[in-house]
A = this chain, B = another copy of it.
Amino acid sequence: MELTIYLAGEIHSNWRNELKEKAKSLQLPLHFVGPMENHDRSDLIGEEILGEQPNPIFRDEAASNINNLRTELLMKKSDLVIALFGEQYKQWNTAMDASAAISLNKPLILIRPEKLHHPLKELSNKANVTVETVNQALKVLSYIFDTE
């Protein structure tokens, strides 16, 4: 039984690779999906496909049409969602994705440093499990397959 996991979170760092490599070394039957990780391409995909937009707000709107389509489709095909929060960036799209997962009844693992516990308290409360590191998230995933 393979599981598809949606990895929600900022696309400025390499955290998804770390998680995928560890999962691979643990030989977990997991297939990972997520957003476009090339940050510039993600921001400009609207103009890349639809052409130049009148101003930055419309540029963002055009890109979000396409990025949201990708997220909705891939999240729908997922069995579980991991949402990672860090100290940089507003990450309102990450909170949006995490909340969508909950509403869609997809189990949600939240990864956040301890110092962010207060602003994330409501989301953390609704998530299935809150952990602090990618390692802990993987242990939860691994546990799903463990028989003893």
Contacts and interface: CB of A to CB of B under 8 A. Distances in A.
A130 B96 CA distance: 15
A38 B148 contact: yes
A123 B66 contact: no
Nearest to A85: B92
Interface in A31-72: 31, 33, 36-38, 41, 45, 48-50, 54-58, 60-61, 63-72
Give the size category of A's interface with B.
Answer: 35 or more
A6 to B, nearest CB: 12
Nearest to A74: B144
A22 interface: no
B143 A64 contact: no
A143 B95 CA distance: 23
